């Protein structure tokens, strides 16, 4: 059976990036799903991928250019790429002249530091705060800028469709919850009733799978979610929804960049819905047309560590059918070619991280 797959919120990609614009070029997967003699499954791919570099540009106050003109210049370059579709993101970075430090990262730190200082001063002085200080504290506490993920301010996701010369800007939102950051894996496992063993990577993955299988059985839909596990057992979760798949590609590459930069991440888990097609001719169409010819939907769970990466699939209908009994159906582990997987940037980052 020939097939292709699309990840709802992500698809097999390779990426190139620079300081000003990050471009994600579509890689097409086509191949055969095969059941091996030992009962396992594997995919044989016939990938096609083009990687193109986009030069970065810098501007100062003296020669500044408005946002609209910059975006149009990026679109002109993207439009010259000979592909049926191109997924790309634009990021605006503000720096002091002669410095490589992101100016707004220092502003966030400054806001938090000033607020913390005022709170500590109140404790140290031990008297009622003056009206002026209260007004200042209230104004700082009400600031929203440093509480919102930076990509909401400075990053936009796009997809270019060759047919019709269409550029679509994505819409997205990110969910912030009490378990988004700073939660120990033990607490996460306890919440999902997963027994703690001496393999805390596998324990976390079991809790991650259970969380989303239960959620999908009740809602019939899940958001793409990335969970990172650090050496000290602390978790960081990113849950988001987007109108185009570019956002997932970017999130994957951002985690890969953190790993390359020395972050103490030891495992990354990803879940999302996938669409499968049986007709290989659909590979010549862009996503807008492919999605109207989908044959089935599955949940895909990925676990990537420094030593291994694995993908597990389960048919969505199986979860829905078992929802009343709260059963946890068996997931099929599939063997894939890491070099053309949409999570390859993370696989590569782990391979070169010290």
Residue of 10, 81, 3, 36 lying closest to 272 (CA atoms): 10
Distance, CA of 190 to CA of 233 (rounded, Å): 14
Give the chain's end-to-end CA distance (angstroms, integer).
41
The helix/strand/coil state of 264 is coil
Distance, CA of 236 to CA of 264 (rounded, Å): 12
- Report yes or no: 9 and 248 within 8 Å, Cβ to Cβ: yes
Distance, CA of 322 to CA of 196 (rounded, Å): 25
The one-digit pLDDT tens for each residue of the chain (354 residues) are 233 345 454 333 333 333 333 333 333 333 334 445 555 444 443 333 333 345 566 666 666 777 788 888 888 888 888 888 988 888 887 777 777 777 777 777 777 787 788 778 777 776 676 777 778 777 777 776 666 777 777 889 999 999 999 999 999 988 876 666 678 999 999 999 999 999 999 999 999 999 988 888 777 788 899 999 999 999 999 999 999 989 999 999 999 999 999 999 999 999 988 777 677 777 788 888 887 876 667 788 999 998 888 888 777 666 655 554 544 566 777 776 666 678 889 999 999 876
Residue by residue, DSSP assigns 189-231 as HHHTT----S-HHHHHHHHHHHHHHHHHHHHS----EEEEEET
Residue of 24, 8, 12, 5 lying closest to 223 (CA atoms): 8
Stated pTM of the model: 0.75
Structurally, the chain folds into a number of domains equal to 1
Distance, CA of 108 to CA of 145 (rounded, Å): 8
- Report yes or no: 268 and 304 within 8 Å, Cβ to Cβ: yes
Domain region containing 312: 2-352
């Amino acid at each position: 059976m020939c097939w292709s797959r699309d990840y709802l919120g992500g698809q097999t990609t390779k990426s190139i990036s620079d300081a000003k614009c990050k471009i994600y070029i579509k890689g097409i997967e086509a191949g055969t799903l095969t059941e091996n003699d030992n009962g396992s499954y594997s995919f044989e791919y016939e990938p096609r991928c083009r990687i193109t570099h986009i030069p970065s540009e810098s501007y100062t106050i003296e020669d500044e250019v408005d946002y609209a003109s910059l975006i149009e210049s990026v679109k002109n370059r993207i439009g010259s790429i000979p592909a049926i579709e191109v997924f790309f993101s634009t990021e605006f970075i503000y720096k002091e002249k002669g410095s490589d430090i992101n100016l707004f990262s220092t502003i966030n730190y400054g806001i938090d530091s000033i607020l913390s200082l005022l709170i500590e001063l109140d404790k140290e002085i031990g008297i009622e705060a003056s009206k002026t200080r209260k007004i200042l504290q209230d104004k700082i506490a009400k600031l929203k800028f440093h509480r919102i993920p930076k990509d909401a301010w400075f990053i936009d996701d796009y997809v270019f469709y060759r047919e019709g010369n269409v550029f679509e800007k994505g819409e997205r939102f990110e969910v912030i919850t009490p378990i988004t950051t700073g939660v120990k894996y033990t607490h996460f496992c306890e919440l999902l009733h997963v027994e703690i063993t001496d393999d805390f990577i596998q324990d976390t993955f079991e809790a991650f799978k259970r969380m989303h299988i239960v959620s999908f059985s009740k809602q019939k839909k899940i958001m793409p979610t990335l969970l990172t596990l650090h050496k000290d057992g602390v978790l960081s979760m990113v849950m988001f929804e987007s109108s185009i798949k570019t956002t997932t590609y970017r999130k994957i590459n951002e985690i890969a960049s953190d790993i390359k930069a020395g972050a103490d991440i030891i495992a990354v888990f990803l879940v999302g819905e996938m669409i499968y097609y049986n007709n290989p001719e659909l590979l010549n169409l862009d996503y807008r047309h492919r999605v109207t010819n989908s044959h089935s939907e599955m949940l895909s769970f990925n676990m990537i560590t420094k030593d291994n990466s694995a993908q597990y699939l389960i048919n969505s209908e199986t979860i829905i059918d078992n929802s009343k009994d709260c059963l946890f159906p068996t997931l099929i582990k599939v063997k894939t070619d890491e070099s053309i997987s949409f999570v390859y940037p993370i696989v590569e980052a782990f391979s070169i991280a010290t």
